[in-house]
Chain A
Amino acid sequence: MTGSPQPRKTGDSGGAGVAPASAGPPVALQLRDVRYAYAGSENWALDGVSLELTAGRVLGLVGPNEAGKSTLCLVAAGLAPAAIGGRLEGSVALGGRDTSSALPHELAQRAGLLLQNPVTQLSGTSPTVYEEVAFGPRNLGLPLDEVATRVEDALAALRIEGLGPRDPMHLSGGQAQLVALASVIALRPPVLVLDEPTSQLDPAGTRLVGKALAGLAGATGTAILVVEHKTWLLGDLADEVALMSGGRIIFRGPTAAMLDDERLADLGVEPPPVVRLRRSLVERGLTPEPSLLAGEGQS
């Protein structure tokens, strides 16, 4: 990947994770029996969620509206309840360290969070996209050349170098989403939590983001938790997919098997086009050519 961020050594920058005894990839994100209720609410938005994500792996999260996906993102990144209050039961660990006692700026170095609405993700104080992407690294007080390197790498990874001099408040929705993602990537956290990172992107932009994220996970060992309605993108990107409903993870498994699971459609999640095509052919009594459907995640 051109201009991709530099590979990070295990244990660097806030702790990449805890290596299990078998010396496999370290666990970057771990939730154990997590229940979370927003401030002022009696209901659990998350109700007994457990998951583990190792370095360099990508976990896709799908589910119907109100399933708790965005809440899981906030909790996984440590911002709920640290920044917005609420009740949390169970434990959340980033890089093997519990998030409950961490300060928000410490959490920002352990997990990067991309919210659904890119406009509110932008600082609103930067005159150019370049400075917007530099906002996070500058907050950390990094040396100027390190800030410049991170910004240029992040912009290059998403091929938006040309937006550098533009005013971030005058971008299209898709461009703003790419800038917001670049701003998160520039922090180089060991864990990325992305809430619908391609919701405002066209198919070409979506593929670009997919490639960039896959490259990031492969090159730097970044663990990525991504909420995504475009299941075909998860087919290309995710190692595993989990289905959420009612604040719980209903089931989780390898991407190909999960995206082919009938229960997905039952819960309102649309399978990738290739799966729908295969099912349609089978329903008509036709046998699909295996090579035709080889690219499982392709649209």
Chain B
Amino acid sequence: MAAIAFGVRGWTGPLSMLAVVLAVVLAARLGRSLTPYVLATLPIVISILLVNTFFYPSATDVIVALGPLAATWTGLAQALQATLRVEAFALSVALLGLTTSTDDLLDDLEHRGVGRRAIFVIGSAIRTIPRMAERAGEIVDAQRARGLDTEGSVWRRVRGVVPLAGPLILSALSEVEERTMALEARAFSAPGRRTTLRPLADRRWERVLRWALVVAAVALLSLSVAGRFPLP
């Protein structure tokens, strides 16, 4: 979806992808859940709108002049198009996160033959982040209990990072060997495919639809790149 939003020329790419996103959002009743993601894109959207509207090169169709700056219709059109592309990209990625649990995704990837090491690295990275955040909190608490001041001015906060980073990194590194042994002791390096604990239902019409979407995406992109796409 993101590739079509950016790859298909004109309004068709981003608008069609936003239509798909909207359809999925309505079907899955995810309207409210999507709000934070829309808000998160606001800074980049505002900057795209301002820069393109006022500084689009060689545009002369002025809407309004504000001193030395002039907003142009061409710039505004380009800005809206770019904004729609960014929204289509961001919201399609957000949809993936909102509709698919990490565990289901990893299970399914593994079921489809992705190597156990790759799955472990992805899964471990996703699950380690909150654990590291927790550990950082514990270390900060321990440092504070020993009198380290990490509140107040920026300089104090920066000074507080050093006693945090050292133990955090060292403790993570020191666990690597033990974790490796623990994994080996649990047959992690055994050959063959791992058992899938939650085989996901994959109905025939779902497979057909999935492949149809892939074929349509490739066709759209190819035609657009070749300049033979008839829509604006």
Contact = CB atoms under 8 A, between A and B. Distances in A.
Co-assembled chains A and B: yes
Interface of A: 74, 77, 79, 82-84, 103-105, 107-109, 112-113, 115, 117, 120-125, 127, 131, 134-144, 147, 169, 183-184, 187
Given A125-B120, A136-B186, A187-B187, A117 B178 contact: yes
Interface in B93-125: 103, 116, 120, 123-124
B186 A183 contact: yes
Given A104-B185, A131-B197, A135-B186, 15 more contacts: A83-B184, A84-B181, A105-B191, A108-B187, A115-B181, A117-B178, A121-B178, A121-B182, A124-B124, A127-B127, A136-B186, A136-B187, A137-B195, A141-B194, A147-B197
A137 B181 CA distance: 17
Given A124-B124, A141-B192, A79 B185 contact: yes
B177 A84 contact: yes
A105 B189 contact: yes
Nearest to A111: B185
Nearest to A193: B185
> Which bracket fits the contact residues of B?
20 to 34
B184 A120 contact: no
B195 A83 contact: no
Contacts of A104: 184-185, 187, 189
Interface string B186-206: 111111111111010000000
20 contacts: A79-B181, A79-B184, A79-B185, A83-B180, A105-B184, A105-B191, A108-B187, A108-B190, A109-B187, A112-B185, A123-B183, A125-B124, A134-B195, A137-B195, A139-B187, A139-B188, A139-B190, A141-B195, A142-B195, A184-B186
Contacts of B116: 139
B10 to A, nearest CB: 43
A82 B193 CA distance: 23
Taking each of B130, B186, B199, which has the highest tally of chain A beta carbons within 10 Å of its own beta carbon?
B186
Given A115-B181, A147-B197, A124 B187 contact: no
A135 B185 CA distance: 11
Contacts of B130: 169
A138 B194 contact: yes
Interface in B141-182: 175, 177-182
B111 to A, nearest CB: 12
Contacts of A138: 194-195, 197
Contacts of B196: 144
Contacts of A84: 177, 180-181
A283 B177 CA distance: 49
A128 B191 CA distance: 24
Contacts of B123: 125
Given A121-B182, A124-B179, A125-B120, A144 B197 contact: yes
A113 B197 CA distance: 24
Contacts of B120: 123, 125
Contacts of A135: 186
A117 B176 CA distance: 13
B228 interface: no
Contacts of B207: none
Shortest 4 CB-CB distances between A and B: which pairs? A125-B123, A105-B190, A136-B186, A108-B187
Nearest to B176: A120
Given A105-B191, A125-B120, A144-B197, A120 B178 contact: yes
B112 to A, nearest CB: 16
